[in-house]
């Protein structure tokens, strides 16, 4: 086949966005859909950070559109050097914006200059109304193309006069791009409340016209200290140990705000942000906080005599035992790993946070000795528990605690992790069928016996000796993140896809929930990196009197099938994976060309933590209350 200049395609304007939407908004699922709104919201928040906006309104409208309105300066509408109004340049050109020279925006979340133009490209329709200089300026687009007819050198049409300033953006997501165009209101609500905590002088009003509820107003003058209090009170069964501590500082143009408290629980919960962006995977601001906090606590512990000169000192995990913390950093030139902006890469921020910890934190502890003593006591408890774990490991006969598993893993032939995947299946019956039907070159099968341990309810010693958990950890090969030690290394993961293949029934759903709880609590990086999936096996196989046999995956699809076929077909209901033969299991659940997989993701790590604790934890009262309040929603999506 000839390959020459005629084979080279050049995508003009916003066409690259429509061709590869996942590169710009992460996915075409509801997560990517909500991301469109967040991009517009971030522009309004950046106006607030510039000191020019204190009110934002977000509306989900009955016609499927979304509207974001702010009282900022308004997008510039004067002529750009390109010969067109600046608003149109911003909305139709990638990497065009006012955030590249630090003149108008000292700190900003949307720094790539692609936000507004990407939303425009992926919208069926978009309307821009800019209030500034006493006038309301109007522009409109369809799938990224202007529909308001102006010639080069002309300004936008004016539709009215006003004393207000600001920008109003209304957009209708393109149904030919996204799998759904129904915004996930709960996730948006969480994002807005989170944004209000991070910006204590900002007021955000949220209206969801689709459910008919009254508008909600989010205003959090206590800032991230109030955020910590909210997290601490999310599960009333867990008692507080300390009050909320809030410290801040500024150096080299970088502003740091930190708030934390300690609870009567194990492990830590750290939520971090940079320029209002939730850095779920952490980064150097989190690393600096952890190192700085451990250094300060160890120094005080030695000064107070809790640690003797010969003692090794507390580990970082020891000092954060029971901590809930929120870290918010404002940086003039943040660098994030990847377009998804989930990990902060700047090295200078680590030194700034360490300096803040050395001054502001010490200043607080010098005046609040009782709070300090409670934190040191938690660290001492952590050391005691860690030593008990080490005894358990020694009793198991393996000081390095390399899991041996139960010997049931059917390995694949390839050793290339990027090509390999592992199916975790319940029971020997399904395991045997999967072993027969798989592609032995790349697919491994790990059968487990029934429901694994619910790690949310168990002590660490019970978890460490559980055979099914040991088998899973041994198969994955990347170690295990314990409560107080950490030998987890995702670079050693043997499989690019970890696929939970449970039956499509209540028991299968429970098994999936238990496995996901385990991964979320002890190997969350696997979920953040997109390595965890759930297989979607069919519920039915149907064969019409005349026609092709098909697989149907849920009851709604079966009802739709009946509308076109009546009752003129044979139907088989699969009670479990073990009822399929190897060929059927391969075709429906294991063949990459025909199977359906759901990738497990976390939109909001705080909500995920709280819901996991409520639904899978030991205490009954919060679970009963949650079920009563959410029973009509049928499914909990985290």
Residues designated catalytic: 426, 503, 505, 507
Q: Return the closest-CA partner of residue 449 out of 433, 429, 435.
A: 429
Q: Return the closest-CA partner of residue 167 out of 30, 73, 58.
A: 73
| Beta pairing partners, 423 | 445, 499
Sign of the C-alpha dihedral, residues 581, 582, 587, 592? positive
CA distance 576 to 481: 32
Question: Are the beta carbons of 488 and 523 closer than 8 angstroms?
Answer: yes
Given phi > 0 = left and psi -120 to 50 = alpha, else beta, which region is 528? alpha
Q: Residues near 373 by Cβ (< 8 Å), separated by ≥ 6?
A: 304
Q: In this structure, what are the phi and psi dihedrals at residue 609, rounded to the nearest 5 degrees?
A: -65, -45
Percent helix, strand, coil in the chain, to 5, is 35, 20, 40
CA distance 569 to 403: 50
Cα angle vertex 521, ends 468, 619, to 5°? 95
Find tokens 């409670």 and name the residue: 374
Q: Return the closest-CA partner of residue 132 out of 35, 191, 53.
A: 53
CA distance 368 to 414: 58
Do the bridges between strand 569-573 and strand 123-132 make them parallel or antiparallel, or are there none, so unpaired? unpaired
CA distance 530 to 533: 8
Residue 239 tokens, joined: 């008692």
Q: Return the closest-CA partner of residue 127 out of 138, 117, 136.
A: 138
CA–centroid distance for 275 within its chain = 17
Residue 201 tokens, joined: 């002088």
| Beta pairing partners, 501 | 425
Residue 574 tokens, joined: 């699969």
Q: Residues near 463 by Cβ (< 8 Å), separated by ≥ 6?
A: 453, 455, 469, 522
Q: Kindly list the distances between the CA atom of residue 17 and the CA atoms of 23, 128, 140, 143, 394, in Å, as whole numbers in the listed order.
A: 8, 20, 19, 11, 56
HSE-CB at 216 with a 13 A cutoff on CA atoms is 17
Question: Are the beta carbons of 537 and 504 closer than 8 angstroms?
Answer: yes
């Amino acid at each position: 086949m000839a390959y020459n200049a005629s084979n080279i395609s050049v995508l003009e304007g916003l066409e690259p966005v429509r061709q590869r939407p996942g590169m710009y908004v992460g996915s075409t699922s509801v997560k990517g859909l909500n991301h469109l709104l967040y991009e517009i919201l971030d522009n309004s928040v950046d106006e607030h950070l510039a000191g020019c906006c204190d009110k934002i309104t977000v509306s989900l409208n009955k016609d499927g559109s979304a509207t974001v309105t702010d009282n900022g300066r308004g997008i510039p509408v004067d002529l750009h050097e390109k010969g067109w109004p600046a608003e149109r340049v911003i909305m139709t050109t990638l990497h065009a914006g006012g955030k590249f020279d630090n003149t108008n925006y000292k700190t900003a979340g949307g720094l790539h200059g692609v936000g507004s133009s990407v939303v425009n490209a992926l919208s069926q329709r978009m309307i821009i109304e800019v209030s500034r200089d006493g006038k309301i300026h109007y522009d409109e687009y369809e799938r990224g193309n202007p529909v308001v007819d102006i010639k080069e050198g002309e300004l936008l049409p004016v539709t009215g006069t006003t004393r207000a300033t600001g920008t109003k953006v209304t957009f209708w997501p393109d149904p030919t791009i996204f799998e759904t165009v129904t915004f996930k209101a709960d996730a948006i609500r969480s994002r807005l409340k989170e944004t209000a905590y991070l910006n204590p002088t900002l007021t955000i009003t949220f209206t969801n016209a689709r459910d008919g509820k009254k508008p909600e107003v989010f205003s959090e003058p206590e800032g991230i200290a109030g955020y910590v209090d909210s997290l601490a009170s999310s599960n009333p069964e867990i008692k507080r140990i300390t009050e909320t501590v809030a410290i801040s500082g500024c150096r080299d143009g970088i502003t740091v705000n930190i708030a934390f408290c300690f609870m009567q629980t194990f492990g830590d919960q750290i939520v971090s942000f940079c320029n209002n962006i939730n850095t779920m995977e952490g980064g150097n601001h989190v690393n600096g906080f952890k190192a700085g906090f451990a250094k300060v606590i160890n120094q005080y512990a030695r000064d107070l005599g809790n640690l003797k000169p010969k003692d090794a000192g507390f580990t970082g995990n020891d000092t954060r035992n029971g901590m809930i913390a929120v870290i918010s950093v404002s940086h003039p030139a943040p660098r994030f790993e990847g377009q998804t902006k989930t990990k902060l890469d700047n090295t200078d921020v680590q030194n700034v946070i360490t300096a803040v910890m050395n001054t502001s934190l010490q200043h607080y502890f010098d005046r609040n000795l009782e709070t300090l003593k409670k934190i040191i006591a938690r660290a001492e408890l952590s050391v005691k528990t860690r030593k008990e774990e080490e005894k358990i490991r020694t009793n198991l006969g393996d000081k390095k605690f390399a899991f041996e598993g139960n010997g049931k893993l059917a390995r694949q032939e390839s050793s290339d992790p990027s090509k390999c995947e592992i199916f975790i299946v319940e029971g020997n019956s399904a395991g045997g069928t999967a072993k027969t039907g798989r592609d032995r070159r790349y697919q491994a099968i790990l059968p487990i016996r029934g429901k694994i341990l619910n790690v949310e309810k168990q002590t660490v010693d019970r978890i460490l000796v559980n055979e099914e958990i040991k088998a899973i950890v041994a198969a994955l090969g990347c170690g295990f993140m314990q409560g107080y030690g950490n030998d987890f290394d995702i670079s050693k993961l043997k499989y690019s896809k970890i696929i939970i293949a449970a039956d499509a029934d209540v028991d299968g759903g429970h098994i999936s929930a238990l496995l996901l709880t385990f991964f979320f609590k002890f190997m969350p990086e696997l979920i953040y990196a997109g390595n965890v999936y759930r297989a979607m096996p069919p519920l039915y196989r149907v064969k019409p009197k005349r026609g092709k046999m098909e697989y149907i995956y849920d009851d709604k699809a079966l009802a739709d099938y009946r509308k076109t076929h009546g009752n003129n077909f044979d139907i088989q209901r699969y009670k479990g994976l073990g009822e399929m033969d190897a060929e059927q299991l391969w075709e429906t659940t294991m063949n990459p060309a025909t199977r359906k997989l759901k990738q497990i993701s976390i939109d909001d790590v705080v909500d995920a933590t709280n819901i996991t604790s409520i639904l899978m934890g030991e205490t009954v009262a919060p679970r009963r209350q949650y079920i009563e309040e959410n029973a009509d929603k049928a499914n909990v999506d985290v």
